[in-house]
Amino acid sequence: MEIARILCTDLAGLRAQALGLAEAAGLVPDVRTLDFRRPWGRVPPALWMKPRWAVKLPALAQPLPGVVIGCGGAGARLAAYLRSASVKAVAVQNPRIALSRFDVVLAARHDGISGSNVIVTRTALHRATPARLAEAARVWEPRLRHLRRPLVAVLLGGSNGRFRLDEAVATRLANQLAVMTRNDRVSLAITPSRRTDPAARAIIADTLEPFGAWMWDMQGENPYFGLLALADAIIVTIDSVSMVSEAVATRAPVMLAPLPGRSRRIFAFLDALLESGRVRNFGGRCEIWPVEPVDDTPVAAFAMRRRLGF
């Protein structure tokens, strides 16, 4: 099988997109998390004088496989640098450099780019395949069997450069979830992310555990895919395109928990899902309606293989 070297920074969302693409395309992923030399880690990739100066080995170690996948700005810049007659370069997300420097670019619709080598998807690429979800359901169903139905999975992100999930926001969200639990007689299974502030996490746990909610304590095996697989409905904070994309790949209705902040790209992504009826805004009540999964990852991976000549 063909090996694909994956180049990305240590961000779970980026890594999941590149891994999801490689796995769906039948490539063997070789993940190289980028470690930057000083001062290049603080310099935008578009301003790197020589990409090879910016990162430490083993990202650029020889020999190179036939495919290099760069996810995010830094990863894409390096993939373009490594492209040659024998190495095909793939960018995931808008690379913010000339698209002609890549064999294939995979971008979500809200990235707003197009070209002869661009494959456009409705959502971010991901790893939430039916097979992975089925296996996660098998593992987690016995552990969460004590929770009554309907089971609502809550996916928590965190503050970033665009949105805020601090103690005040966590208090408001926790109170909304508590009211929903009481009024709609649902159970909650909650998973934070690495970005969830510990103080916000504590507020949500202290507020909701008295109502019978189960919340992952960040120790041991991550229940994320298990919650996606078992949920009758999903509530996800709007800060993460990746989390929303994984949620809508399931057969559960998805509600969007708003956060203070703004992002033109993310709002364009969410608006398209709202208009299609695949998601609804969370207003404090549990809503369940018929939905179908939205998952472009397999189709995008097949299209990439064809363009690469596999």
CA–CA gap between residue 99 and residue 105 (Å, rounded) = 7
- What mean pLDDT do residues 220-236 have? 97
Q: Are residues 258 and 141 in the same domain?
A: yes
Does residue 117 share a domain with residue 198?
no
| Close Cβ partners of 227 (under 8 Å, ≥ 6 residues apart) | 140, 153, 155, 189, 191, 234
H or E segment at 69? strand 67-71
Terminal alpha carbon distance of the chain: 11
Tokens of 77: 């810049």
Domain total for the chain?
Answer: 2
Domain shared by 162 and 60, yes or no: no
Question: For 129-158, what is the mean pLDDT?
Answer: 97
CATH number of domain containing 191: 3.40.50.2000
Closest CA to 295 of 179, 134, 130, 71: 130
**302 confidence band (pLDDT: 50, 70, 90):** very high
- In terms of domains, do 161 and 78 share one? no
Query: Mean pLDDT over residues 270-285, rounded?
Result: 98
Q: Kindly state whether residues 218 and 198 are assigned to the same domain.
A: yes
- Tell me, yes or no, whether 98 and 139 share the same domain: no
Which residue, 117, 124, 111, is CA-closest to 297? 124
pLDDT greater than 90 at residue 44: no
For the chain, the average pLDDT equals 96
For residue 50, the model assigns a pLDDT of: 86
How far, in Å, CA of 98 to CA of 40, rounded? 21
How far apart are alpha carbons 210 and 207 in whole angstroms?
7
pLDDT at position 1: 82
The verdict on pTM exceeding 0.75 is yes
What 3 state SS string does 109-178 have?
HHHCCCCCCEEEECCCCCCCCHHHHHHHHHHHCCCCCCCCCCEEEEECCCCCCCECCCHHHHHHHHHHHH
- Predicted pLDDT of residue 49: 83
Instruction: Give the integer Cα–Cα distance in Å for 233 and 124.
Output: 20
Q: Which residues sit opposite 119 in a β-bridge?
A: 106
Work out the percent of the chain whose per-residue pLDDT is above 70: 100
Q: How many residues does the chain have?
A: 310
Q: Are residues 65 and 138 in the same domain?
A: no
**Spatial strand order in the sheet of 279-281:** 214-215, 187-191, 151-155, 233-237, 254-257, 279-281
For residue 55, the model assigns a pLDDT of 92
Residue 89: pLDDT above 90? Answer: yes
Q: Please report the pLDDT score of residue 57 as a whole number.
A: 78
pLDDT for residue 284: 96
What domain range is 95 assigned to? 3-126+298-308
107 part of a folded domain: yes
What pLDDT score was predicted for residue 125? Answer: 98
What residues pair up with 70 in beta bridges, in sequence order? 7, 91
Sign of the torsion formed by the C-alpha atoms of 124, 126, 129 and 134: negative
Confidence of residue 310 (pLDDT cuts 50, 70, 90): confident
Amino acid at site 183: N
**Cα distance between residue 162 and residue 173, in whole Å:** 18
pLDDT tens figures, 154-197? 999 999 999 999 999 999 999 999 999 999 999 999 999 999 99
pLDDT of residue 82: 95
Co-location of 156 and 272 in the same domain: yes
- Look at residue 149 and tell me if it is in a domain: yes
CA triple 216-250-162, angle to 5 deg = 65
> Taking the mean position of all CA atoms in its chain, how far away is CA 178?
27
Cβ–Cβ < 8 Å for 30, 65: yes
pLDDT at position 78: 95
CATH of residue 51 = 3.40.50
Q: Are 284 and 176 in contact (CB under 8 A)?
A: yes
- Reported as a single tens digit per residue, the pLDDT across 2-35 is 999 999 999 999 999 999 999 999 999 999 999 9
Q: Could you tell me the pLDDT band of residue 308, with boundaries at 50, 70 and 90?
A: very high
Q: Is 291 part of any domain?
A: no
45-87 per-position pLDDT tens digit: 888 888 888 998 788 889 999 999 999 999 999 999 999 999 9
Q: Which of 141, 152, 118, 148 is nearest to 247 (CA)?
A: 152
* Predicted pLDDT of residue 148: 95
Q: Report d(CA 80, CA 70) in Å as an integer.
A: 8
